Amino acid sequence: ARRLRAVPPPCPAAGVSQVTVRDALNQALDEELERDERVFLLGEEVAQYDGAYKISRGLWKKYGDKRVIDTPISEMGFTGIAVGAAMAGLRPVCEFMTFNFSMQAIDQVINSAAKTCYMSAGSIAVPIVFRGPNGASAGVAAQHSQCFAAWYGHCPGLKVVSPWSSEDAKGLLKASIRDDNPVVMLENELLYGVPFEMSEQAQSKDFVVPIGKAKIERQGTHVTLVSHSRPVGHCLEAAAVLAKEGVECEVINLRTIRPMDIETVEASVVKTNHLVTVEGGWPQFGVGAEICARIMEGSAFNYLDAPAVRVTGADVPMPYAKILEDNCLPQVKDIIFAVKKVLNI
């Protein structure tokens, strides 16, 4: 098989810059606050402290107390305020310090935000974005390490996005703020400081990433790897290792959990005849399980030459100890093992 060599260019292309995910999110918030006076940000420490993860750095000084609002430590309370503001015609961005704390406000997210458009026969829109870090960080143990992609992806009435790169982060946040539906944006804390190349177009104020459209990050012919958030990077690393052994992986970055772009996955499976899904969440009822079920129920099933394989987090609450934590999260070696298993090599 022809090998695809992941050789970086000697210098960035014209107009291309290195931008961290943190700065990409900050740019998106700044541009949308400037573009639409109905947009405002609220959450714990988002204003005077510049955000717990510095995503809102400089925005309070620029836009003031009415547009960037520090809240008490009461997720149920400030999420309810945000949902009510959205029903009244504003476009709030509600930050959770971690999505593990969104469980305090899940009644507001699901019963108040997600269901209102349907229950009002379409007469009441709830244009709100719930955003913040999701899934495991490093050494923060079980109560701060859960991935909520499957939870929120389960619920009709919500859109759910999960960025990997800086381009994903900026484009999806801008698209989410402009959407008339409630959107859950699941970021990853460990990616905030990671720089990615961003084109001049991606850094423009008009740039958005369409919700519901996956991106093929690497072309391949032997096996399809489907992932979202931080594990996309692991898939690309595994693909680079496997390419040296003559195995070409097609890597799909889902970008959106709901609505899921199953058409892109199906087209890839038709080409490669093999499927591996990769996620940081738990295995039971997970995102990978949904992808496998959709493929089995559709026409692409007839093209599979082997059963699909899931690579997931371990089915346990996250341990605190680093060596145990590492063994609970998908690693590059686990993806390589799964690919070789599905290809029977």
What's the pLDDT tens digit per position in 85-122? 999 999 999 999 999 999 999 999 999 999 999 999 99
Express each pLDDT in 225-242 by its tens digit. 999 999 999 999 999 999
Q: Answer yes or no: 75 catalytic.
A: yes
Flag whether pLDDT at 257 surpasses 70: yes
Q: Measuring CA to CA, which residue among 248, 208, 237 is closest to residue 330?
A: 237
> Distance (Å, rounded) from C-alpha 234 to C-alpha 148?
20
The answer to whether the beta carbons of residues 267 and 294 sit under 8 Å apart is: no
Flag whether pLDDT at 7 surpasses 70: no
The pLDDT value given to residue 25: 98
Give the active site residue among 31, 44, 95, 144. 144
> Distance (Å, rounded) from C-alpha 263 to C-alpha 189?
29
The pLDDT value given to residue 244: 97
> Distance (Å, rounded) from C-alpha 186 to C-alpha 323?
25
Q: Measuring CA to CA, which residue among 219, 218, 223 is closest to residue 342?
A: 223
Per-residue CA distances from 231 to 70, 149, 237, 250 (Å): 32, 13, 10, 14
What is the average per-residue pLDDT within 298-307? 97
Give the active site residue among 31, 32, 44, 75. 75
- pTM to 2 decimal places: 0.93
The pLDDT value given to residue 15: 74
> Distance (Å, rounded) from C-alpha 261 to C-alpha 265?
7
Averaged pLDDT score across all residues of the chain: 95
The answer to whether the beta carbons of residues 170 and 28 sit under 8 Å apart is: yes
Express each pLDDT in 142-161 by its tens digit. 999 999 999 999 999 999 99
Terminus-to-terminus CA distance in the chain, angstroms? 15
Reduced to 3 states, what is the DSSP secondary structure of residue 139? coil
> Distance (Å, rounded) from C-alpha 110 to C-alpha 330?
29
DSSP per-residue string spanning 159-199: EEE---SHHHHHHHHHHHHH-SS-EEEEE-GGGTT-EEEE-
The pLDDT value given to residue 11: 54
Percent of the residues in the chain that have a pLDDT greater than 70, as a whole number: 96
Flag whether pLDDT at 57 surpasses 60: yes
Express each pLDDT in 179-203 by its tens digit. 999 999 999 999 999 999 999 999 9
Q: Answer yes or no: 189 catalytic.
A: no
Flag whether pLDDT at 1 surpasses 80: no
Reduced to 3 states, what is the DSSP secondary structure of residue 95? strand
The pLDDT value given to residue 16: 86
Per-residue CA distances from 75 to 43, 98, 181, 182 (Å): 8, 11, 20, 17
Flag whether pLDDT at 5 surpasses 50: no
The pLDDT value given to residue 14: 62
Percent of the residues in the chain that have a pLDDT greater than 90, as a whole number: 95
Flag whether pLDDT at 305 surpasses 90: yes
Backbone angles phi, psi at 216, to 5 degrees: -85, 110
What is the average per-residue pLDDT within 304-319? 97
The pLDDT value given to residue 4: 43
Q: How confident is the model at residue 12 (pLDDT cuts 50, 70, 90)?
A: low
Sort strands 195-198 and 223-227 into parallel, antiparallel or unpaired: unpaired
What is the average per-residue pLDDT within 300-323? 97
Flag whether pLDDT at 173 surpasses 80: yes
